[in-house]
Amino acid sequence: MKTLITTTVIALALAAAAAGPVQAKGCIKGAIVGGVAGHMAHHGVLGAAGGCAVGHHMASERQRQADQQQQQHDPYQSR
């Protein structure tokens, strides 16, 4: 269990450092999930990096959809 936590923390730190502050949205949660899943397959760092990328992509998609809905429902939005 201690190895799992240590691996996850290291993987999370590496993934967050690679993502930078601008792309951190979604990365942290994805890195945690990916790090744990990767640890089970003995690839914690790869799992965290992949989880970070997927988490950021999913967060970006949710933000894009929210922006589109806001634009459609805002009657004062200039077009």
The predicted structure's pLDDT at residue 42: 85
Q: Which of 13-17, 37-41, 47-51, 59-63 has the lowest mean pLDDT?
A: 13-17
Condensed to tens digits (0 to 9), the pLDDT of residues 12-40 reads 666 666 655 555 778 788 888 888 888 88
- Hey, where are the domains in the chain? 2-73
All residues at 6 or more sequence positions from 39 whose CB lies less than 8 Å from its CB, including other chains:
3, 4, 7, 8, 11, 47
Identify which of 55, 51, 53 has the alpha carbon closest to the alpha carbon of residue 8. 51
Question: Considering the entire predicted model, what is its pTM?
Answer: 0.61
Give the 3-state secondary structure of residue 32. Answer: helix
Q: Percent of the chain at pLDDT above 90?
A: 1
